[in-house]
Amino acid sequence: MAIETTRWDIADFLVDDSAIAAYLDAVFADGDVDEMRDALAHVARAKGMTDLAQAAGITRGGLYKALGENGNPSFATVAALLNAMGVRLSVTSKVA
C-alpha cells in the first residue's frame, strides 16, 4: 500500500504579520545569509511577489533575482522588503 503525501510549504503558514515576524526572527537569529534570503523569499511568496515588489518599489523580476538561489539582495532591498512585509529589523545583544 502506497503512502500518500502532500507537499509541505512554509508559505502556507505565514498567514499574518505576527507569524511572519516570528519566522523571520527565528531565521535571522541564526545569522546564515542564505537562510535569511530564503526566508525572505518564502514570505514574499506568502505575501504575493507582484504586490510585494510593487510595495517595495522594485520590479517583480528584480525581486525574483534578489531572492533567487544565487541572489544577493542589497541592504537597501532587504530594508525595502521588510518595510513592505510589515515588519522591522531589530538588533539585540548576543549576550543576553
Q: Note the pTM of the prediction, 2 decimals.
A: 0.89
Q: Is 96 a residue whose pLDDT tops 80?
A: no
* CB neighbour list of residue 40: distance below 8 Å, 6 or more residues apart: 24, 67, 73, 78, 81
What is the pLDDT at residue 54? 97
- pLDDT tens per residue, range 22-68: 999 999 998 899 999 999 999 999 999 999 999 999 999 999 999 99
Residue 52: closest CA among 27, 82, 29? 82
CB atoms near residue 65 (< 10 Å): 15
Residue 86 CB neighbour total at 10 angstroms: 13
**Would you state the cell numbers that stand for residue 21, as one nine-digit string?**
515576524
